[in-house]
Amino acid sequence: MKLKLSTLLLGVVVNTTLIASPQNQITPSVTVVKVPYISRETNHVDYVHKLMELALDKTKAEFGDYRIQYHDTETLPERQLRGLEEGEQVSVTFSHAKAKWDNAAIRVPFPLAKGLGSYRFFFTLPKHLPSLEKVDSLDDFYQFIFGQGLGWSTASILEDHQFRVEYSSRYVGLFIMLESERFDLLMRGAFEILGEEQHLKTEHPSITYSPDIAMLTLLPMYFYVSDTQPELAIRLERGLKIAFESGEFDELFTLYFQDAVQFVNSPTLRSFWIDNRNVSAEQFYEIKPYLLPELIEKIEPNIQPKL
């Protein structure tokens, strides 16, 4: 991460003091927020947009009004990153944790979905389902080939552990590749798999999944903000924490993800830990207060700092 939010905060405090002083009666300018378009057959994109608007609303008194410009054409992850670095077309986007992104943009240290994406399920074909349901350790997954999108955060996790990975530059192409047996498993989060399941029933009816087998890792979802708008990063962090304290964050989360939380808390689910080297123990403790409590119990023993 190029800029630390703690450093940025000091600058914002000083700036706010200047604006508030009698001799500096300056009307705050409108914050323009440019957001890339991401097409998914799930509701989590809409959730993130609603959460962003909530955070911006909660900070109007301090930071002034805002205007969001939503793009209307699909932007792939790597292009989103370039947009953040340039700062002209993209102000903020969201992603599960990526070390590469931490070095190119400002990560807002608040887990947007309480770490719910840390559970990773798998779409597959019926022929692979018996083998998947017999998995009894992480090593048993090496028999499969995994499908991933270019630039996805989960791709680096699989690569770091030497799993075989096939890539597609197009989200919809992954389901076609799975049906064509280009790979065996397509890794998805709980809210993704539940949303996409409805789409697949009509478009790709041969694709199925097991609700009882998953990998488990620490995979928080963050806002990433362009270095050209550091005050926006401060504003989003403050707004998210205000919404969390007021209970509005939990209300929005429950509205969108109640089914997914029940899904990952199924008593029949067996999950197998896989280390995510994109996320440090320091990051875990930074966001721990905002994670699902039942997730903390499973993750914390696996990420204790090594002595």
Query: pLDDT tens digits, residue range 127-158?
Result: 999 999 999 999 999 999 999 998 888 999 99
Average of per-residue pLDDT across 282-298: 96
Average of per-residue pLDDT across 265-291: 95
Closest CA to 260 of 114, 157, 147, 54: 114
Please check the confidence at residue 8 and state whether its pLDDT lies above 70. Answer: no
CA distances from 114 to 4, 30, 136, 240 (A): 22, 30, 27, 12
- What is the spatial distance between Cα 124 and Cα 141, in angstroms, rounded to a whole number? 13
| The token pair that represents 28 in the structure block | 């705050």
pLDDT in tens, 86-117: 888 899 999 998 888 888 899 999 999 999 99
Using DSSP bridges, classify how beta strands 221-225 and 106-108 pair: parallel, antiparallel or unpaired.
antiparallel
Please check the confidence at residue 28 and state whether its pLDDT lies above 80. Answer: no
- Alpha-carbon 10 to chain mean position: 27
Crossing angle for the helix pair 248-264 and 230-246, nearest 10 degrees?
Answer: 80
- What is the spatial distance between Cα 251 and Cα 253, in angstroms, rounded to a whole number? 5
Please check the confidence at residue 307 and state whether its pLDDT lies above 50. Answer: no
pLDDT in tens, 30-81: 999 999 877 766 788 899 999 999 999 999 999 999 999 998 777 777 788 8
pLDDT band at 180 (very low <50, low <70, confident <90, very high): very high
Measured on CA atoms in the order 16, 66, 59, 290, is the torsion positive or negative? negative
The pTM of this model reads 0.86
Q: What whole-number percentage of the chain has pLDDT above 90?
A: 69
- What is the spatial distance between Cα 228 and Cα 193, in angstroms, rounded to a whole number? 35
Give, in degrees to the nearest 5, the angle at Cα 191 between 261 and 137. Answer: 75
Least confident of 26-30, 97-101, 180-184: 26-30
